[in-house]
Amino acid sequence: MRTPIETVRALQALKDRQIQDHARPGEGHPTEPGGPVNWHAMNDDEYEETWGALCDFLVWALPHWCFTTDQVPHLCWWQHPDIVEEFTAWWGLWQACVRNPAAGIAEQTSFQERTFALKQRLDHTYRGRCRQSHQPSATLEIALPDLQQGQAIPIPER
């Protein structure tokens, strides 16, 4: 039988191994490389590996938290940049609040609350519109003034 000190040391060693053994981007400690995901700052290899890790997470997580076809366009979610960003943020939150060995119970509760809010937001946004086939999201085209290279966009007067 272990002494209390041996037990504490064994748990600390396990925790240290868990933090070090994250093999995929986005699955590391949230304050270290491999934590938060910025799709726009990745090279092709990082993008491919991180995308695969996100998809692996979603294959497990969407049925686990009972997302419906009214909340998630299961057939085409990856074609909606806003939903990709929502899932990326949710995945990061799961890593920080649940998967992180240093997370406390309050963080796990926060994750559950945020998951509920995400489901409501997606339900309101998508309302099952892509249930039969992909329907492109409405996009906003932003017109910029014709500027010379390096010229700043002028700030309008109030």
What pLDDT is recorded for position 119?
95
Q: What percentage of the chain has pLDDT greater than the value 70?
A: 65
Q: What's the whole-number average pLDDT of the chain?
A: 76
What pLDDT is recorded for position 63?
92
For 93-139, the pLDDT digits (tens) are 888 888 777 788 898 899 999 999 999 999 888 777 787 788 877 66
What pLDDT is recorded for position 31?
44
- 58: which 2 tokens? 């979603």
| Residue boundaries of the structural domains of the chain | 34-126
- Mean pLDDT is highest, among 11-20, 25-34, 75-84, 147-156, for 75-84
Residues 80-119: b if buried by 16+ CB within 10 A, e if exposed = beebeebbbebbbbbbbbebbeebeeeeeebbeeebeebb
- Taken in order 66, 68, 71, 74, the sign of the CA dihedral is positive
Helical ranges in the chain per DSSP H: 4-20, 44-64, 81-94, 105-126
At residue 65 the predicted structure's pLDDT band, cuts being 50, 70 and 90, is very high
- Mean pLDDT is highest, among 23-32, 60-69, 100-109, for 60-69
